[in-house]
Chains A and B, each alone.
Chain A
Amino acid sequence: MLRTRRVSYLEGLRYQGKESMLAWVLHRITGLGILFFVGTHVVAAFFLNAIGDNISKSVTLWYESTPFQIFIYFCVLYHAFNGLRLVVEDFYPPVLRYRRELLWLQWLIFLPVFGLPAFLMVLSLFSGSA
């Protein structure tokens, strides 16, 4: 069945998707983010050690910068928390009754665990010690 999407993602979030759709979109984005980073990292490390070219050097500098590290920390942490919730829901479906509560609980745990280190990383970025 083919169906064209007539609403934007933001409209979908407001209309019916709400927390679940946000989790789905973020799970997808963070998953692709991790795959992109790990793929780039592995390939760059390979070429850096095999031939030591300048492209690998600048790619390495780029993903070692603080903004990218914060992004990748967000990706890994969100994907891990959300994935754990999905596994619990898939293997023990009765909790689906409390799905909204689970999603909010997940944000409640995620935000401080992500926010504090991210805040410290931003601080060190501006104080210049990173």
Chain B
Amino acid sequence: MRFRSAGQGSALEYYLWLFTRLSAVFMLFIGAFGIIYANLAGGRLTMDTPTQYRWGFFPIYWHVQNSDIPDVFPNWSNSFWRVYGMIFLFIAAVHGFNGLRIVVEDYVHRPILLLLAKGLVFVLFLFVVGAGGVVIFELF
């Protein structure tokens, strides 16, 4: 374990620290908004609880498709939710992969291995955001 002393980090490190906190609160609101929206849009009668939670976890219409909803388009699948989902995915991915980078920095000490591991984390980040974008906008 390596211990970081206070005042050692760069400005970027501080902004990422701040981003982690702000995005955490933002994502809590996104989850709450998803579940409240689902109920206001008729999900209370047509969706079971797991479906509502899946929608709250990530608002993509595939998450409500198995439920008893006649037409998915007006409420669950439109450009708004796609753009919203993409922004959400990007913020969540930065939050998550930045956290993975911090865990990696705690356990990997050799500089060359650390560089490789951080590079791998960045490649994974790009791949997940890219693949997620393809899934959200259905660019198959």
Contact = CB atoms under 8 A, between A and B. Distances in A.
A34 B96 contact: yes
B140 A50 contact: yes
A3 B3 contact: yes
Nearest to A5: B1
Interface in B79-135: 89, 92, 96-97, 99-100, 103, 109, 124, 127-128, 131-132, 134-135
B61 interface: no
Given A3-B2, A31-B96, A42 B135 contact: yes
Contacts of A32: 99-100, 103
B99 A35 contact: yes
Nearest to B106: A28
Contacts of A68: none
Contact of A50 (B2, B25, B134): B134
Interface of A: 1-3, 5, 28, 31-32, 34-35, 38-39, 42-43, 45-46, 49-50, 76, 80, 83-84, 86-87, 90-91, 117
Given A39-B124, A86-B21, 19 more contacts: A2-B2, A2-B109, A3-B1, A3-B3, A31-B99, A32-B100, A34-B96, A35-B96, A38-B92, A38-B96, A42-B89, A42-B132, A43-B131, A46-B132, A49-B135, A50-B140, A83-B28, A87-B21, A87-B25
Interface of B: 1-3, 5, 21, 24-25, 28, 31, 49, 57, 62, 89, 92, 96-97, 99-100, 103, 109, 124, 127-128, 131-132, 134-135, 138, 140
